[in-house]
Copies of this chain bind each other. A is one copy, B any other.
Amino acid sequence: MRKRRISQFAPLLIALVGLPARGKSQLAHRLARHLNWNGESTKVFDCSEYRRRHMALYGSHDIFRADNQQGSAIRRKSAREAVQDAVLWLKDGNSVAIFDGTNITREQRRELNEYCISDMGFRILFIECVCEDQELLERNIIEILHYSADYKAMTEEEAVDDLRKKLEHYMRQYEPIDANLENNLNFVRVENMGETVTAHKVSGQKESGILGYLSGMRALPQTLYFTRHGESEYNVLGRIGGDAVLSPRGESYAHALAEYMNGLAVREPLTVWTSELHRTKQTAAEIIAPKRAVRALNELDAGICEGLTYEEMQERFPQEFAWRDQDKLRYRYPWGESYIDIMTRLRPVLSALEDEHNVVVVGHQAVLRCMLGYFLDAKLDELPYMNVPLHTIVKLTSYGYKYNIEMIKLPIDCVDTHRKQPKNCSINRSTADALVTVPSHYDTLPSNLWQNSEAQP
């Protein structure tokens, strides 16, 4: 059979392959996050969720036996339903569907490949997850026991025994992808969560990006720290943008931050990434760790509005101000940037960060909204209104493909810079309506902005 050539613009079905506990779901969800951020609308279709819909209660490993006919029927039906939903998703104009199943037999893969290419005209890429690293495998198993819906009703001992038996059933049926026997499959084999990645006949723009992403994946748990710079003189004055230095209270935060970071008992040493602007470098100055000033971490460029207060924006550019309130995510300042723009320039930094551990990012409000939004799977429209207050360390700790967030507020007073979306975003609104949510600020720098003062403007 001459292989049909599918257009590079066709939607892509990704089918995972491999035994349970090989990291398939983690890979699926992390990849989906990455692709969605890069503008490819992607969704994971988890076969086990469909299976659970057909069984009020999990029961036991027994349904995974090859000779359990009722179990096989349920599993086949679930797989079919997951694929059907994936196909609907792609037909709806979306870009990538990830079918998170085991697909462990050659016959299953042949059928799926054929259906996708010949019947649907879609692209298809198989990703096989293999794990020979015992330590990694055990960590994956522990995560399944903790988080899988199947094991909620069992004791730990019962669950361990059940999962072990389930694995045995699967191992009996597993036929790893064989490049010679299955020469018409496009596939990637991922060993030990990215230690070795092999691509066979993989081409196409989406697929190349995916391959690159897979090789950079970090298998180990990671902790990342984020903080805005300390309060700057512009923050005090309610001015946006610019390259101001820290206020006295901002300097106090820099001391407190360094004290906190230098006091952490971390096994892997810290690294600090700042923007190229004074206020982040000044904030990071006393942290004892190698530092790197990264241009892509610079604050959103407010163009013609750099250095203005919101009141001045309303006075000089009321139309721009209203437009921004109408669609803060997409609004681009004349000669400046939009949130969408900074999302684009942050892509390489986010990819790099996914491979790091114990990095402290000292950044800015808009930039950190985007970065935290990425790790926390925020909806795009929510990004511009996320609350990332000054003088607060945000600690992210990975578990599986998700992140725990911890907000550590250091006790140094500061202004609030968070302006909520006002109710009235019309171009003809009154000045009062435009300014109703502007946080309070000083009009000139006070002569003594002492630390821990209760005084607020």
Contacts and interface: CB of A to CB of B under 8 A. Distances in A.
Interface stretch (A73-81, A190-198, A398-406): A190-198
Interface string A138-156: 0000000000000000000
Nearest to A345: B344
A271 B335 CA distance: 38
B203 A8 contact: no
Interface residues of A, number: 39
A218 B211 CA distance: 16
Nearest to A352: B205
A333 to B, nearest CB: 10
A411 interface: no
Contacts of A211: 197, 211-212, 215
Residue from A179, A194, A209 with most neighbouring chain B CB atoms (10 Å): A209
Copies of this chain, complex-wide, total 2
A295 B8 CA distance: 14
Contact of A199 (B196, B200, B290): B196
B355 A8 contact: yes
Contacts of A9: 292, 294, 352
Interface string A165-207: 0000000000000010000000000000011111111111101
Contact of A355 (B197, B203, B271, B352): B203
Nearest first, the 8 closest Cβ-Cβ pairs linking A and B are A212-B212, A208-B216, A208-B212, A205-B352, A198-B198, A197-B199, A199-B215, A202-B215
Given A199-B215, A211-B215, A344-B344, 17 more contacts: A7-B271, A7-B290, A8-B355, A9-B292, A179-B196, A202-B216, A203-B216, A203-B218, A205-B351, A205-B355, A207-B215, A208-B212, A208-B215, A208-B351, A211-B212, A332-B335, A334-B334
13 contacts: A9-B352, A195-B200, A196-B200, A197-B198, A197-B211, A203-B216, A205-B216, A205-B355, A211-B211, A211-B212, A211-B215, A212-B213, A334-B335
Interface of A: 7-9, 179, 194-205, 207-213, 215-216, 218, 271, 290, 292, 294, 332, 334-335, 344, 348, 351-352, 355-356
